[in-house]
Structures are given as structure tokens and as C-alpha cells.
Amino acid sequence: MLAVGGTLQLQQDGDVDCTPDGELPAASARSEFNDNDSDTLMDASPEDEPSSAGSTLYPKVCRNEKQFEAWQRSRPWLVMKKETKSVQCSTCATVKRLGLHKVRGQRDESTFVDGNVSDCKSAKKLLKKIDKHKDSAMHKKCEELLDMRENEQIRKGAEAAQEKFVEKNKKNVTATAVVFRTAYECAQSHLSFREHERLIDLQSVNWLACGEMLFSHHACANIIKQSF
């Protein structure tokens, strides 16, 4: 430190800056603060930032997503279409058009089919519009058609499973049918149930597949008892 003209001046000694009381210069302190603050912002998790996707999860007239989920509990067909940010009926959207099933004078519900329901001023008015759609003839007909389609798929599935079972167990089914017909012959001809085993052996000798069970007279009696 030098005194020049009655004033004090700082003298730089190498690369070291010194101030009274060993404090850092203000510019350096500000630089360090900015560096630390930048690191904090870079380390911030994306979860701490507000999400902008919430508006597509529920109508904007609802208080929050939980309110819309409460509506969906009693209306499982009610969904949000992200492209239009509007409510949509998944049941009617699946059927789309009734075609020949449409009744004359039936009101078209295309806004719920396509997910283009117009905005309402309040959640109460939107819910009223949703319930009006639920009670509409088109919505009820679409539910009926989906139930019929589901029942038809169940029936076809059961028939396909039965056909696969018969094909897979064709030999066993054929052999069982031979045994049952032999037991019926004993009953119709008033033969002793003990003749059942002898007749099965005779058919086996004649190269007729009879399986490997239900040969005894007890089996014959049970077949007759359960069949008549």
C-alpha cells in the first residue's frame, strides 16, 4: 500500500489481490455466487419443474385430475382425447356408426364419437352434457352391440376350443364312443354287465380301437346308470 498525494492506493503483489481484513473483492464474490447458482440450476431435477401435460389429462373446467377420475369411476367409457383435449366416449368411438342399427329419428352423437365436445363454462354443465349422452339412444345401442359382439366372440372361442380338443383327442374320443355303445348293447339286449368285458375283448381282437379303460362290469353299470 502506497501513499500518493494524500490518498491510499493498493499495490498488486504478483497474482494475489488483497483487501482490508482479508475480504475477497466484490466482483470475485459475485462471480463465485453465480457459478454456484448455475450448478444448482443444472442439478435441478425435471420433476421439480411444473408439468405442462396436465391439461390433456382432464377437462380444463375440472378442478384437477382427481375430479375427472371420480367421474370416470361411474362412467368407465369416459376418456380424454389428447389430440382435441376433449372428452370422448370410448364405447361409441369403438362402434363409430350404427348403420342398419340406427333407429329413425335417433339423435347423432358424433361429438362424443370423435372427441370434439364443445367447451362448457363449468364442470357442472359438462357433466350434465356427459350424462345426457349416457342416456341417449345411440350410446345404449352401442353398449348393446358391444355386448353382443363380446358374447359372439365367447361363443366362437368355445366352439374353436371344442374343435381343437376333439381333434387332439380324436383317438380317445372314438375309443370311448365304442365302449359306450357296447355298454348300451348290454342294456338293450338284457345281457349281464359281465358280458361287457367279453364284448370289448372281441372287438379288440377284430382290430377295433377300444382304449385302455372302462372295460369292467362296474364300468358298464356306471355308464348305463349315468346315461339313463
Calpha distance 37→119 (Å, rounded): 43
CB 182 within 8 A of CB 196: yes
Q: Which of 46-60, 80-94, 112-126, 146-160 has the lowest mean pLDDT?
A: 46-60
State the average pLDDT for the chain.
Answer: 74
Domain limits, the chain: 54-145, 170-227
Using DSSP's 3-state secondary structure scheme, residue 15 falls into coil
Q: Tell how far CA 32 is from the center of its chain.
A: 53
Confidence of residue 209 (pLDDT cuts 50, 70, 90): confident
DSSP 22: G
Q: So what's the pLDDT on residue 7?
A: 46
Highest mean predicted confidence (pLDDT) among 4-13, 19-28, 56-65, 121-130: 121-130
pLDDT at 19: 45
More confident residue, 33 or 191: 191
pLDDT of residue 127: 92
The whole-angstrom separation of Cα 188 and Cα 49 is: 86
Statement: residue 87 has pLDDT above 70:
yes
Q: Please give the share of the chain, as a percent, with pLDDT higher than 90.
A: 14
pTM over 0.75: no
